[in-house]
Every structure is written in structure tokens, then in C-alpha cells.
Amino acid sequence: MYSSLSKAKLPFLAMLVILPAISTFAQSNTSNTSDTSASVIQPVVRSKTVIRGRAIYDDTGLPAVEAMVRLIDPKSPRPMGGMLTNERGGFGLGGIPPGEYYLIVQPKDEFLPWRPSYGFPLRTGDEAFDAARMEEFTRGFPKVTVDGINSIQIELRVPRRHGGVISGRITGASSVPVAEASVTVLRQLSTKLAIVEGGRTDAEGNFRIARLPAGDYLVRAVGLGENEHINSKDEPSDAVYFGSTNDVKEAVAVTVLPDQETGSINISLAAHQFATVSGVLKTPGDGKPLTDVMVRLSGGKTDHMITSASDGRWSFSHVAPGEYTLFVGTVNNVPFPGDPTTYEPFVHRYQKLKVEESDLKDIVVELSKGGRISGNVTLESNAMEKPRTILVRATGVEGDGQGSAGAQVIANGSFSIVGVPLGEITLRVDAFPMKTYITKAIMWNGIDLMKEKIRIDDGTEIRNIQVVLAPIAKPQ
């Protein structure tokens, strides 16, 4: 039995903004601190340095409650870590690697989910601009030297905001404000447009993006519905730039001056024709609505994403005309062993859509539970180099509107795939790193599944699939 699989890497935690008084450098062994600091979780690292202190507002002297305190290495594109202050403005950061850092604090309102801020300067690739933005971002904050031995006590002040500001409003038809619209500020480099900052509009369609170095920028907006998200690549096909154009070459540049606000950067999405694409998810037969299922509309250079509501309904607004594919479910996503996320026990679906000027409504997608396939993987060798990851995937007939289903093999060599597509199914096994192992056999009840296909009906369960992997011989 295969028993040497390493554990899957946990997904990267990009931000920690919901756990007050916990250092992101820490892992275990909570200890109490003085009244001027929050509790510090001591990490399992060699560095003994702890930075403790209070964050207060520069103008009033009052504690900055639930503000984000971060350490920033100016040579790194992302913060080293951070935590929220307690009710006294106290904080404590432990287990910090030796080096020089800026210790910055940002008020609570900059870290609400809808605020238009990434929370730290994004790197654009323009060294001069990135340096200028880092200087603006860290101005007024102390620089601390960590030696890994001595601790630091410090009073951290929240200074007056520096840098220029771009503000405006996003509206739709009849000048109705568009809430939750995605607004992005970009800077033109020699070879590309680089994202500098971005976020969402408020309930009145307003946005305000601060702490920008002086210079010229482009501003674009994408209309989104409630709980809708996008994954944009390059220039989103359904974006409108300031200047009422969806062609970046015709966009009007916005000039930002030092410590001044450039306002009235208003964008009307009604300047271009968009459609609404909506529908409902339900089970076949009884028509029961499916809730919290991922729906993705992919086409052009933008992916729209949303989860279905309690009545199974979903809706994408402001969709540009074009050819799209509608995916329902986490298509091609293979769960990690032990992942607490509940993966939908149904066959993922996809279908082609053509969006024109009129709305596409009441698209009904029925999701069957599909089948289940389970079994074991064995390695035909005692070689020291074992695969880091093994994936088993079940795929139906190409173009039948069903997404494939897969599972990652766990440490004891077993796997279990749910939501297997209906009809004739092909099994495929991949070992990573690639080109280290090949599939030697896939057997079930004496049937060679490398030559034969399995027939899956709704509710079918296939057990005891036996997979044998053999190492690829290396050239002598």
C-alpha cells in the first residue's frame, strides 16, 4: 500500500484582518503582556524579538482601536505580517526575523471588506514609481531594526494621510448609482498597464482611492451585482474607462498632485451596452433549489463569479456582448485531503452562451448527484523519491456539458471521487512532479480500465479501483 505521500500544502493565507490581538508571526503558547499591549503568541522560531506598544492617533492622542499594525520590508512586495490592535490600541508582534522594517499602522476603516484599498503598495515593475509609492506609504512611520535577541517597546502614531487622492462616482442607466462596482487605478509603464490600487464602490456608487504618488493614472470600472466578483486579466472586456470608453487607447488620464484630491472622476457604465445574465440552479425531478453553488461566466478577458442564493438564483449584471462559457460548480478543482470545505456532491456543468444587447434570463441548470468512484493507489517500487501529489480524475465525453471530477490521493493511498459525470467515463492518474511516475495499471473486477471505460448513472458507486504507478527509469 502506498503510504509515503506528503501532506498537501495548505492554501496561502493572504490577509489576517479578523483575529484581533494575534500576531501573524505566531503559532502557539499564548502569554499575557502589560496593559499597553495585546496578547502575544510566541512562535516556534529562534528569533526572540517581540515588538510591543500602543498605536494612537497623531492629532488627538486617542488609541487607534482595531487598527492594522504591519511590518513592511521595503525590499519585499508584501508585508511581513500584522495584527489588529486591542481596545487600548495595544499590539504585540513576535518571532520576527532579523532585519530592518517599517512599522506602520492603518486605521480600522481602511480594512473593511468594501474599502477601496489593497492595504499595501502593489509592485508595478516600475522601480522609480514603486520606490516613490513606498516612500509615500511609509512616510511618518518609524523604521525598526530587529536583531532577533532584544525586544522593542514603541509608541506608534497614526499620521495624517499623505499622497494624492482620486475620487468619483460610478453610475448606470438613468444615472442610478452602481454599488459594489469594481474600480481599478492603473499606471502606464513602457510596455504595459500596471494595477496600482483598486476596490469597490459604496452603496451610493462612490469611491475614494488615496495615498497615490503624484502622476498620471487611468481609472476603470466594472459593474458588479451583489456578492459578484471578477477575475480580470489584462483589460477586462466589460470595463469602462474614465472618458466613457471601453478602449484603453481612448481613456482620459487622471492627474494626481501631491497631497491633493482629484475629484469628480465619474464613470457612467450606461455609455456602453451591457446585458444581465441570470438563471436558477436546481435538482432534476423535484426541482429543489441549490444554494451556495459557485457559478462562473467566463469569456473575453473577464471571469464573473457568484454563488447561488437561497432560492437557487444567480445573476450577473453589466456583461459585455460576446461569447461566454457558463460553468456551474468548482469545475476542474480537486479538493485537498482534510480540507474542511464541503465540495458539492453533484456533476459540474458547463454550456456555451452568446450575450448580445438583450438580457439572458431564466437559464435553468439542473445538477445531478452523479456517481462515486473510490479505490487505492500502489507504488511499484521502494524508490526514495515519492510523488508529492497524486490526482485521480474521472472525465466524461468531451463536449457533453459535464465537468470532470477528481480527488487527491491521501497518505494511506486511498481516494474517493464524488460528482462523477454521467455516461462513459475515462480514468486518469497524474503524479507530481511530472515525468517521475507513469500509470502502469488501473483495474476493477478484472477489467483493465486503461483500455475500457466505466458506465456511470446517477447514484452509481464504483469501489475498489486498484491503481499501480511505476517510476520512470532515468537515463544512465
The answer to whether 204 and 169 have CB atoms below 8 angstroms apart is yes
| Burial (CB count <10 Å: 0-12, 13-18, 19+), residue 313 | middle
For domain 164-271, the question of CATH label 3.30.1050.10 is answered with no
Q: Which helix (H) or strand (E) is 130 found in, with range?
A: helix 127-138
Q: What pTM was computed for the model?
A: 0.62
What CATH number belongs to 371-471?
Answer: 2.60.40.10
Residue 31's Cβ-count burial label (10 Å; 0-12, 13-18, 19+) is exposed
Report CA-CA distances (Å) from 85 to 17, 54, 63, 142, 246: 11, 8, 9, 17, 42
Please state, in angstroms and rounded to a whole number, the distance separating the CA atoms of residues 20 and 68: 9
Note whether 207 and 168 are within 8 A (CB).
Answer: yes
For residue 289, cis peptide bond before it (omega within 30 degrees of 0): no
Choose among 353, 354, 358, 333: nearest CA to 343: 333
Instruction: State in words which class domain 275-366 has.
Output: mainly beta
> Could you tell me whether strands 50-57 and 152-158 are parallel, antiparallel, or unpaired per DSSP bridges?
parallel
C-alpha dihedral over 78, 83, 89, 95, to 10 degrees?
-90
Distance CA 305, CA 312 (A): 15
Distance between CA atoms of residues 137 and 120, nearest Å: 8
User: What φ, ψ does residue 271 adopt, rounded to 5°?
Assistant: -70, -15
In the block, which residue shows the cell 509609492? 133
Beta-bridge partner residues of 305: 229, 296
Q: What topology is assigned to 30-158 in CATH?
A: Immunoglobulin-like (2.60.40)
Taking only the tens of pLDDT, the chain with its 476 residues reads: 333 233 333 232 233 232 233 333 433 333 333 344 344 434 344 688 999 999 998 878 889 888 889 888 877 766 677 889 999 999 999 888 888 999 988 887 565 444 444 456 777 778 888 888 788 778 888 999 999 899 999 999 887 666 788 999 999 988 999 998 989 999 988 778 888 888 889 899 999 888 788 899 999 999 887 778 877 656 777 889 999 898 888 999 999 998 788 999 999 998 788 889 999 999 988 889 998 888 999 887 778 889 899 999 999 988 888 899 999 985 445 555 544 444 557 898 999 999 987 899 999 999 998 999 999 999 987 666 788 899 999 999 988 999 899 999 998 999 999 999 999 999 999 998 888 899 999 999 999 999 999 999 999 999 999 999 998 877 65
Q: What are the backbone dihedrals phi and psi of residue 164, each rounded to the nearest 5 degrees, phi first?
A: -80, 170
Among candidate residues 66, 70, 69, the one with its CA nearest the CA of residue 78: 70
Cell readout for 78 is: 508584501
Sequence ranges of the chain with CATH classification 2.60.40.10? 30-158, 275-366, 371-471
| C-beta separation of 251 from 244 below 8 A | no
**Other beta carbons within 10 Å of 394:** 25
230 touches 224 (CB < 8 A): yes
Query: Would you state the cell numbers that stand for residue 430, as one nine-digit string?
Result: 497524474
Report the alpha-carbon distance of residue 221 to residue 178 in Å, rounded.
10
**Buried/exposed 355-370: b ≥16 CB within 10 Å, e otherwise:** beeeebeebebbbbbb
Q: For residue 51, give the C-alpha cell.
A: 515588538
How far apart (Å, rounded) are the C-alpha atoms in residues 30 and 43? 9
